[in-house]
């Protein structure tokens, strides 16, 4: 028998013990909650803090928060009048029989090497006053019958069917699946691959805090991602909507050796697939490596039929050792049980720490009396949340004991330790380490006799753990979840038409996720998207953008008809929102280009595209209206009564933008009728040039230049000045259209004509007043107001046939104003056009003569 000294403190099992056994998804936990709420009081012990918290929330909704307590090593919510306790197995009450109902969940964990002795003790001694319920796998049945007298065993069948689905590549794993790996490195690698081509996955590992685990599970449960990558921690009580479980391997390191999973362990994990009445499947992951990555036929049969070898032993350790000395304590903890079916538990971390510190003379010197030994044992039982091994954990426990041996820990000290960990920066591993460390201090702060200001320090520790958990959740989500790709993958199936696509300014949003931008009718994938995502995003755009493009096309068509469309024609390209939507091509004549829609319009549905192209052609007609004077010339050149000379002149004017030099134009050969026709067409015949005044504006000139380039015509260099001033520096715009070159300066054609006409008017007036006198003076005021220099003005006059008559210089010693410059006119010779182009000064005139002329003209 087990030690007799326990008989007085732990009474025999009362009647009403029921063992509810069966595979996963049999509703055992749900039944236990119903029975708990049916009693006046009760407690349930769970294997995980996460499960205790989940059920606590459910019971609170039924019984109210004031009546429900949560008791775990790191968190205690204990209202004064709480009658229902949700606990971890380690924290649940055992000897107290004041509760009407008691249940133990996952009792088969009595076979676990590290914690099995705790579950075995609760199975043997935790009892309810009215009803006791033991929940677990069917493999536990022979042990329950052997250890619990008069137990009633109820076997529950699984609600759904579990079927083997064979091996699949990761890319073929169906949505709503869980992939199970057995190392953090493998979990990260699989999650990263899923991120690339499936949008990512939630991640669940034993090293995560319960809060982070909950947040990751919520991502999966909400449907934000369709995949969950987890370690075997998922096999313990996490209720998920999983349709398929894929094993990345079938072996693991159990703390002592690398071994193949037992069929019970395989079934515990595979059983996560299929919930309630929905069937599930399980299989393996192809290419995950290892010789043991395939299920054996007998394993498949066992999992599908829920037939597993029964447990033949449970681990046990003395639950009430003596504290007379450390040596006696260790001896009791290592004493084997004297009862069939129970075996001594392997050395757990707490016993290993106790034995390690028993060799420390400083520690041993502080242990005097049973109370100190008992307190020291409680310190040694601090869980190794950081998973750093016996040596490291022993040093931490030794430092903690040095403070606790003298009494309680001060609030300032605890606050300082907690504050050191309140840092949310760092990578995933760093945050996991901080969470493990803060869980240790949360456990310490929960002890009623270890910490001053216990409630305040416990609240601080929980707050820091919450912040670190949020940060870790964010890092995991950032690294392993591409929300944009996840949304697209979820919707790019048969229900693709249900995808919500909308446009906010230039951003294209699919289900609220930015996938690219739309400028004009050109969709551009987000440049930040990974290379593997770009093809997927383009597919989504091709499927769902036509409706959006149709809406934009209809809006642009309406704007064109209303005359408010912000279109631009530059370089022969028709643009909208700085994106090309059409181009001009050479047509039957320079002034009749052809509109060629750009390929970006091909994505617009045909009716909307046809209407848009028609509207663009109408817009082009309006946009070319400034060239109407040239269009008249073009039409007149085809008239039968134009004659060859006028026809040639009109064609030249059209090709040169409505302006050409008079010399060589053939205008002098036209008869009176043809000259009249030319004037009616708006062509002004000047002394030096022929031009259409309207075409001397920057808009028409720029428009003509575009069409001329499209038609392959020789276009003068230089762009028209937006202001088109009367004169400008020739060095900057040597061949600016609409201007005549005067050497260092250019003068607009109509301004040049105005100055020459003024000079002829002065000549006519002088001839009328003086009879036959042919010389006259000129007032340079208008030329000066236009910005012409003396040399430029003199050249213009000379090109127009005017010659300067220099006055005789004053005799030596004479004083007075010089005589004014006189001018005379002779019909210009047309070969002077060559001089205009080269802008060379008359070789017969010296620079000193020009300087003298400048002085005479006041410049």
pLDDT tens digits along 732-749: 666 678 888 888 889 899
Which residue reads 């009633």 in tokens?
Answer: 152
Contact between 89 and 119 (Cβ < 8 Å): yes
Q: Which of 115-129, 189-203, 584-598 has the highest mean pLDDT?
A: 115-129
The pair phi, psi for residue 831, each rounded to 5°, is -70, -5
> Considering only 132-141, 616-625, 634-643, which range has the smallest mean pLDDT?
634-643
Residue of 295, 210, 200 lying closest to 247 (CA atoms): 295
> Considering only 113-117, 267-271, 561-565, 766-770, which range has the smallest mean pLDDT?
766-770
Say what the pLDDT of residue 779 is. Answer: 85
DSSP secondary structure string, 156-206?
Answer: ---SS-EEEEEEE-GGGPPSSEEEE-SSHHHHHHHHHHHHHHHSB-EEE-T
Q: What is the rounded average pLDDT of the residues 520-544? A: 67
Task: Give the mean pLDDT of the chain.
Answer: 83
Dihedral sign computed on CA atoms, order 484, 487, 490, 491: negative
Residue of 700, 739, 745 lying closest to 718 (CA atoms): 739
Q: Map residue 237 onto helix, strand or coil.
A: coil
* Whether the predicted pLDDT of 591 surpasses 80: yes
The pair phi, psi for residue 444, each rounded to 5°, is -65, -45
pLDDT band of residue 36 (cuts 50, 70, 90) is very high
Q: What is the rounded average pLDDT of the residues 652-657? A: 88
Q: Which two tokens stand for residue 531?
A: 């290379």
Contact between 700 and 576 (Cβ < 8 Å): no
Cα distance between residue 119 and residue 572, in whole Å = 83
Contact between 251 and 265 (Cβ < 8 Å): no
* Whether the predicted pLDDT of 63 surpasses 60: yes
User: What's the Rg (C-alpha) of the chain?
Assistant: 49
* Whether the predicted pLDDT of 859 surpasses 50: no
Say what the pLDDT of residue 290 is. Answer: 53
Q: What is the rounded average pLDDT of the residues 770-798? A: 82
Contact between 55 and 75 (Cβ < 8 Å): no
Cα distance between residue 758 and residue 682, in whole Å = 21
CATH class of this structure's domain 14-157: alpha beta
Q: Which two tokens stand for residue 317?
A: 């350790």
Contact between 464 and 422 (Cβ < 8 Å): yes
Q: What is the rounded average pLDDT of the residues 429-457? A: 90
Q: What pLDDT, in 10s, does the model give residues 383-429?
A: 998 888 899 999 999 999 998 988 888 889 999 999 999 999 888 88
pLDDT band of residue 495 (cuts 50, 70, 90) is very low
Say what the pLDDT of residue 485 is. Answer: 62
User: How many alpha carbons lie under 13 Å from residue 398 in its C-beta half-sphere?
Assistant: 19
Cα distance between residue 567 and residue 579, in whole Å = 10
Say what the pLDDT of residue 841 is. Answer: 46
Q: Map residue 233 onto helix, strand or coil.
A: helix
Angle (nearest 5°) at CA 262 between 258 and 267: 130
pLDDT band of residue 854 (cuts 50, 70, 90) is low
Q: Which two tokens stand for residue 849?
A: 């003569």
Helical (H) or strand (E) element with 45: strand 42-46
Say what the pLDDT of residue 516 is. Answer: 76
- For the chain, give every residue range classified as CATH 3.40.50.300: 14-157, 162-312
Q: Which two tokens stand for residue 35?
A: 């029975």
Q: Which two tokens stand for residue 332?
A: 């009791």
CATH class of this structure's domain 162-312: alpha beta
Max Cα-Cα span within the chain: 156
* Whether the predicted pLDDT of 210 surpasses 60: yes
* Whether the predicted pLDDT of 153 surpasses 70: yes
Helical (H) or strand (E) element with 281: strand 280-285
The pair phi, psi for residue 116, each rounded to 5°, is -55, -35
Residues facing residue 567 across a β-bridge: 576
Q: What is the rounded average pLDDT of the residues 600-629? A: 90
pLDDT band of residue 821 (cuts 50, 70, 90) is confident
Helical (H) or strand (E) element with 567: strand 567-570
Say what the pLDDT of residue 497 is. Answer: 44
Q: Which two tokens stand for residue 304?
A: 């599908």
Q: What pLDDT, in 10s, does the model give residues 68-95?
A: 999 998 888 999 889 999 999 999 887 6
* Whether the predicted pLDDT of 855 surpasses 60: no
* Whether the predicted pLDDT of 122 surpasses 90: yes
Angle (nearest 5°) at CA 593 between 588 and 597: 125
Q: What pLDDT, in 10s, does the model give residues 481-492?
A: 766 566 656 555
* Whether the predicted pLDDT of 569 surpasses 80: yes
Residue of 138, 103, 137 lying closest to 122 (CA atoms): 103
């Amino acid at each position: 028998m087990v030690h007799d000294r326990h008989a007085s403190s732990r009474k025999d099992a009362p009647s009403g013990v029921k063992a509810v056994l069966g595979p996963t998804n049999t509703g055992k936990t749900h039944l236990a909650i119903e029975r708990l709420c049916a009693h006046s009081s009760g407690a349930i012990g769970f294997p995980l803090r996460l499960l205790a918290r989940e059920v606590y929330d459910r019971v609170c909704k039924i019984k109210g928060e004031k009546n429900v307590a949560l008791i775990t090593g790191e968190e205690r919510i204990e209202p004064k009048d709480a009658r229902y306790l949700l606990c971890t197995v380690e924290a649940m009450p055992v000897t107290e029989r004041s509760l009407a109902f008691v249940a133990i969940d996952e009792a088969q964990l009595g076979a676990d090497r590290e914690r099995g002795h705790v579950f075995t003790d609760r199975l043997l001694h935790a009892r309810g006053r009215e009803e006791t319920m033991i929940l677990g796998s069917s493999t536990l049945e022979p042990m329950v019958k052997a250890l619990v007298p008069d137990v009633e065993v109820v076997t529950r069948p699984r609600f759904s069917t579990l079927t083997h689905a064979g091996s699949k590549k990761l890319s073929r794993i169906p949505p709503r699946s869980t992939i199970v790996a057995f190392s953090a490195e493998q979990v990260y690698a699989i999650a990263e691959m899923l991120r690339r081509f499936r949008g990512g996955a939630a991640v669940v590992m034993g090293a995560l805090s319960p809060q982070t685990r909950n947040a990751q599970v919520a991502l999966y449960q909400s449907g934000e991602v369709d995949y969950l990558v987890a370690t075997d921690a998922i096999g313990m009580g996490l209720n998920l909507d999983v349709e398929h479980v894929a094993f990345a391997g079938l072996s693991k390191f159990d703390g002592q050796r690398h071994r193949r999973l037992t069929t019970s362990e395989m079934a515990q994990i595979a059983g996560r697939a299929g919930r309630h009445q929905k069937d599930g499947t399980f299989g393996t992951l192809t290419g995950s490596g290892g010789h043991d990555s395939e299920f054996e036929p007998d394993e498949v049969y066992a999992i599908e039929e829920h037939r597993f070898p029964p447990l033949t032993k449970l681990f046990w350790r003395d639950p009430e050792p003596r504290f007379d000395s450390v040596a006696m304590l260790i001896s009791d903890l290592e004493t084997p049980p004297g009862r069939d079916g129970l075996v001594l538990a392997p050395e757990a971390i707490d016993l290993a720490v106790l034995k390690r510190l028993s060799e420390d003379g400083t520690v041993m010197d502080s242990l005097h009396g049973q109370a100190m030994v008992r307190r020291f044992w409680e310190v040694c039982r601090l869980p190794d949340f950081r998973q750093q091994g016996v040596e490291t954990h022993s040093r931490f426990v030794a430092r903690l004991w040095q403070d606790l041996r003298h009494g309680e820990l001060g609030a300032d000290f605890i606050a300082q330790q907690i504050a050191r960990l309140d840092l949310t920066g760092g990578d995933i591993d760093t945050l996991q380490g901080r969470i493990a460390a803060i869980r240790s201090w949360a456990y310490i702060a929960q002890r009623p006799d270890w910490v001053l200001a216990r409630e305040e320090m416990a609240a601080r520790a929980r707050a820091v753990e919450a912040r670190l958990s949020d940060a870790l959740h964010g890092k995991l989500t950032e690294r392993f979840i591409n929300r944009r790709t996840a949304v697209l993958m979820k919707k790019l199936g048969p229900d693709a038409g249900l995808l919500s696509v909308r446009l906010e300014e230039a951003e294209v949003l699919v289900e609220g996720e930015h996938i690219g931008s739309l400028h004009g009718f050109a969709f551009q994938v987000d440049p930040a998207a990974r290379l593997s995502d770009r093809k997927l995003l383009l597919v989504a755009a091709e499927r769902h953008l036509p409706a959006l493009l149709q809406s934009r096309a209809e809006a642009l068509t309406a704007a064109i008809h209303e005359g408010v469309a912000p279109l631009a024609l530059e370089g022969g390209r028709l643009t909208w929102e700085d994106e090309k939507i059409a181009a001009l091509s050479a047509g039957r004549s320079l002034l009749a280009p052809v509109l060629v829609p750009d390929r970006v319009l091909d994505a617009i549905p045909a009716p909307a595209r046809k209407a848009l192209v028609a509207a663009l052609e109408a817009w082009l007609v309006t946009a070319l209206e400034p060239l109407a004077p040239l269009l008249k010339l073009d039409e007149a050149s085809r008239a039968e009564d134009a004659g060859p000379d006028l026809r040639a002149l009109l064609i030249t004017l059209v090709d040169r933008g409505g302006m050409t030099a008079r010399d060589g134009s053939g205008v002098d050969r036209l008869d009176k009728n043809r000259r009249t026709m030319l004037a009616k067409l708006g062509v002004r015949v000047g002394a030096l040039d022929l031009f259409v005044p309207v075409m001397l504006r920057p808009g028409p000139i720029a428009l003509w230049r575009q069409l001329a380039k499209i038609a392959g015509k020789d276009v003068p260099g230089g762009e028209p000045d937006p202001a088109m001033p009367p004169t400008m520096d020739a060095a900057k715009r040597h061949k600016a259209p609409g201007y005549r070159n005067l050497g260092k300066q250019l003068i607009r054609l109509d301004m040049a004509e105005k100055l020459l006409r003024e000079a002829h008017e002065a000549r006519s007036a002088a001839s009328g007043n003086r009879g036959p006198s042919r010389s006259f003076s000129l007032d340079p005021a208008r030329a000066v107001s236009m910005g012409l220099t003396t040399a430029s003005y003199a050249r213009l006059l000379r090109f127009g046939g005017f010659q300067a008559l220099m006055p005789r210089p004053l005799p030596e010693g004479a004083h007075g104003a010089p005589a004014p410059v006189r001018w005379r006119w002779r019909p210009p010779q047309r070969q002077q056009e060559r001089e205009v182009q080269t802008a060379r000064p008359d070789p017969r005139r010296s620079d000193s003569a020009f300087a003298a002329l400048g002085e005479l003209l006041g410049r």
